[in-house]
Amino acid sequence: MAQIVEAAGLPASDSFSPAPAHALARIDQMPIEIQQQLVRAVTRRYASTAPPRRQLARPAPAAQPPGPASGRSR
């Protein structure tokens, strides 16, 4: 949220202050095209600065249930 506020050139202060809410209200009043540009700009910035994502190991396939026991059954 703060990244979008900053991209709009508005002050992004502490998350617990009313400033971010006011900034988001101002962004909400902007034309949708401007809002989309802000989100794209933040997305590009995040993509260029984000740490690389780790590849997660795939889980091993579930073990097959044991087959019928060999030998005689009563």
**For range 47-51, the mean pLDDT:** 70
Q: What percent of the chain has pLDDT over 70?
A: 57
Q: Is the pTM for the entire model greater than 0.85?
A: no
Domain ranges of the chain: 2-49
Q: Which residues contact 5 (CB under 8 A, 6 or more apart)?
A: 11, 12, 20, 23, 24, 27
What digits encode the pLDDT tens for the residues 10-43? 766 666 677 777 888 888 999 999 999 988 888 8
**Alpha-carbon distance values, 66 to 15, 60, 61, 69 (Å):** 56, 17, 15, 8
